[in-house]
Amino acid sequence: RLCIVGPTSLKKTIKNGTKEEIAALPWIGNPLECPYCQVMKEQFHELGLFPNIILRADQDSAISAMIRAGVGLNFMLEEDAKAAEQKGKLVTWDKESYPLPLSFVVLRSRREDIRVRTLLQAVRSAWDKL
């Protein structure tokens, strides 16, 4: 699952904010092909809310550093966000979290290949734990 995270300098606003107030804060946007953009579309745009994207970045490490530096908000995997929040590195907006659909694609013609079947079994096992 994903959650919204932001800099500790905005803790009060983030913790108490409505979705509308969260959208109005500065955001670090993702590249359009990033699955986080689909979450933003479904959770904000379809409600008529358009987060205030002030810049875009495509590296998780850069986005995390910018959040910690006070630049803006973004989505983060909930487990990573909670761990970073416990260390005082960022703040999470606890009012909602969002599913992040996962897909794994193989050629139909290769589905019976033992290596592909073994890989699919490992993927299912790992994803069942999420």
Count structural domains, the chain. 2
With contact defined as beta carbons under 8 Å apart, do 53 and 74 qualify? no
Lowest mean pLDDT among 7-16, 44-53, 95-104: 95-104
Distance separating alpha carbons of residues 87 and 77, to the nearest angstrom:
16
Token pair 């955001």: residue: 27
For residue 129, is pLDDT > 80? no
pLDDT computed for residue 86 by the predictor: 98
pLDDT digits (tens, 9 = 90+) for 3-12: 999 999 999 9
82 and 54, same structural domain?
yes
Together in a domain, 94 and 37: yes
130 falls in which pLDDT band (50, 70, 90)?
low
Cβ within 8 Å of residue 54, ≥6 positions away: 26, 27, 28, 29, 71, 72
75 and 37, same structural domain? yes
Residues 92 and 108 in one domain: no
Q: What is the pTM of this model?
A: 0.81
Q: Are strands 74-77 and 2-6 parallel, antiparallel or unpaired?
A: antiparallel
Structural domain including 42 reads: 2-98
